[in-house]
Structure 1
């Protein structure tokens, strides 16, 4: 009996060691999450630039650790936070411009993203936010700091093994093309898609030239189903706007083609297409199985049609339990939705970075 107990204890210890070994391997394979994009992945960079596109006030962040509004456009965490956690790195990815953090924090993950930006420089100009080219400049500065912190050889290895996430494109249409004069007079929607896809491809080539080898190119969600669009779709009885969803699908096809092309052209490149479209659409069309009660109305609303920066600074317009809502504000998902989408993308796409 005593022998069996010792054997059981040894087996348990062995299993624990194997588990720890596996976790260490996972951490070693993906040492950091590096993020570029818009409000879907902005961890608070816009707090530190002169723009109205901010969410550093209540009730944003009310379900984040400490109940603090960090500048994330949600009631809590955003997809990149959950991705970093699933890779065993850390629970949240900090914003590069946040002075609370330094290179020791950024060495395992950093977000250069800026709410209201897009592939197109003209999109970032609408609300004076950080354009994509500037995010790349910040990334170059980050690499220099990382080399000083880790040493040049270790920094290069970290960059090549880290997962670089890109998430943007929605603002290029909803905030720019269909809202502002300019691009619509220059391009048809399909021509504009080609224009944006070209910028995405060039950006990935720049990341590759700087040493990135693991890159996730994010697709667009069904943007015609955002509460902002449904609320104003009077003729369609407040249903999803089919035209906007089709635009998202068409651009997603072009982005997916880029991944095929560049994987063939660039040696040692591992470029994947992370598509949130269908999982988001499934949640929106069939919210009940996920425990949601509403997919058409946002938890936090003011009754006005702002571009997603619509949460009231007071709580009188906010729902009691955000986990019952697919969307937090007119433009952005709740923490629960972010978690579901992130888990789906990790399981179906990003997991190959751990192989």
Structure 2
């Protein structure tokens, strides 16, 4: 029997696993369900490092992770450019729908349209909704990801034929996962946006970009779209490390921003479902499941949620993680976070399983 624990959070019902390995059982069950009834032929991904499968390996930026110890628990122990010790959420989601084990990066030359026909990621680490965010580390802005998507559709049409390609696009699940960098790497770090916008005005500004992007996808034939929300940003090890006056606890103001922005995205989802005929737009909110894991790591078999596996676990990510690799933890599965900004593979699996079960089940019907 699969046991679970149900908690209520502001009238939101969240079913969470009580046993450390329950998520593995759940993922297997979802995989069996998906194999027999999935109507999703492909997973198409837009976003930042949470879903970048290695696109940044092929552009001139320091926002990379194609080196040890990244990827040490991936198949073959290879660093692919995923900001994790192993698989990222979109890989687990693809597998849950009975598709490929991994969603490949669009710019990776070892893949071609025959691979991308089942899934593709246009995501770029360190990007955001705001073009100014992508400029910070010279990564792929969201508008460029859309241009890549247009090119992908042309290749898909040539590969499958126009009719089949159009059907694939209409039935494919388009995932959006970004926004954290807009606040933590741009608004609260780089001078400019904070001078023009209050935090709430900036939230509205970003939500308007999200709306235009969704409408662009819709105009290109996409009908099944997942708009991803923000995690509890204040609970990232990087932010907790700098919260000395707060006892290195989660930074409340950043979590408040996450909640406010997520509410705007949720309202946007409701409105666009009413405005755009035939669209199935869902809001995928990782906030509460991530917060529950961080606040109750022992329920999931984790030993640490405040510091990460990489190096000291307090502030390292990217190349800093590489330089401190000799100090990295021996077992990443005991940690909620891999580096100071990104979850471990095990955490990604739990969150992906939760989203598939509670949000994407309608696409299995």
2:71 to 48, 61, 68: 61
Q: CA RMSD in A?
A: 1.5
- Which residue of 1 is the match for residue 55 of structure 2? 45
* TM-score, length of structure 1 as denominator length: 0.92
* CA displacement at 1:309 relative to structure 2: 5.3
Q: Does 1:23 align with 2:60?
A: no
Q: Is the 8 A contact 2:238 2:314 kept in 1?
A: no
- Which residue of 2 is the match for residue 135 of structure 1? 145
Q: How does 1:81-100 map to 2 (within 5 A)?
A: 81-100=91-110
* Counterpart Cα distance in 2 of 1:22 and 1:330: 33
Alignment length (residue pairs): 335
Q: Does 1:118 align with 2:141?
A: no
- Which residue of 2 is the match for residue 288 of structure 1? 298
* Counterpart Cα distance in 1 of 2:200 and 2:34: 46
- Which residue of 1 is the match for residue 17 of structure 2? none
* Counterpart Cα distance in 2 of 1:289 and 1:346: 20
* Counterpart Cα distance in 2 of 1:22 and 1:170: 30
Q: How does 1:232-251 map to 2 (within 5 A)?
A: 232-251=242-261
| Structure 1 residues 117-139: Cα deviation after superposition (integer angstroms, max 9, x where no partner) | 00000000000000000000000
For the pair shown, the structure with the greater C-alpha radius of gyration is 1
* Counterpart Cα distance in 1 of 2:88 and 2:319: 16
1:268 to 267, 271, 278: 278
* Counterpart Cα distance in 1 of 2:337 and 2:292: 14
Task: Rate the CA distance shift 1:307–1:170 in 2: closer, same or farther, 3 A.
Answer: farther
| Structure 1 residues 250-309: Cα deviation after superposition (integer angstroms, max 9, x where no partner) | 000000011100000001100000000000000000000100000001000357745665
* TM-score, length of structure 2 as denominator length: 0.90
| Structure 1 residues 152-206: Cα deviation after superposition (integer angstroms, max 9, x where no partner) | 0000000000000000000000000000000000000000000000000000000
Q: Is the 8 A contact 2:50 2:178 kept in 1?
A: yes
SS in 2 for 1:238: coil
SS in 2 for 1:311: helix
* Counterpart Cα distance in 1 of 2:253 and 2:286: 18
Q: How does 1:182-201 map to 2 (within 5 A)?
A: 182-201=192-211
Deviates more, 1:117-126 or 1:314-323: 314-323
Q: Is the 8 A contact 2:311 2:325 kept in 1?
A: no
Q: Is the 8 A contact 1:169 1:220 kept in 2?
A: yes
Which ranges of structure 2 fall in alignment gaps of 5 or more residues?
1-30
- Which residue of 2 is the match for residue 157 of structure 1? 167
